[in-house]
Amino acid sequence: DKKDAVAGAEKNKQQFILVLVSCFLALVFLLALFIFRGYKQKQKANNIITQQKIEVEKQKELVEEKNKDITDSINYAKRIQDALLREEEHISMHLPEHFILFLPKDIVSGDFYWGIEKRDYWYFAAADCTGHGVPGAVMSMLGISFLNDIVSSEGLHSPAEILNLLRIRVIKELRQTGGAGGSKDGMDISLVRLNLKTYELEWAGANNALHLI
50-55: which pairs have CB atoms within 8 A and are 24 or more residues apart? none
pLDDT at position 159: 94
What is the helix (H) or strand (E) element at residue 124, kind and residue range?
Answer: strand 121-129
pLDDT at position 192: 94
pLDDT at position 165: 92
List all residues 6 or more positions away from 159 whose beta carbon is below 8 Å from its beta carbon: 123, 191, 192, 193, 202, 203, 204
Q: Is the pLDDT of residue 3 over 60?
A: yes
**How much of the chain is helix, strand and coil, in % rounded to 5?**
55, 15, 30
Q: Is the pLDDT of residue 1 over 90?
A: no
Q: What are 69-117's pLDDT values in tens digits? A: 888 888 888 888 887 776 655 566 777 787 788 888 888 888 888 888 8
0.75 surpassed by pTM: no
Four-point Cα dihedral 179, 180, 186, 192, nearest 10: 50
pLDDT at position 91: 64
DSSP letters, 67-113, are HHHHHHHHHHHHHHHHHHSPPHHHHTTTS-S-------SSSS-SEEE
| Mean pLDDT computed over 145-155 | 85
Mean pLDDT of the chain: 84
Q: Is the pLDDT of residue 139 over 70?
A: yes
| Mean pLDDT computed over 158-171 | 92
Q: Is the pLDDT of residue 41 over 80?
A: yes
Q: Which amino acid does the sequence have at 8? A: G
Q: What is the C-alpha to C-alpha distance for residues 36 and 31, in angstroms, rounded to an integer?
A: 8
Residue 8 pLDDT class (50, 70, 90 cuts): confident
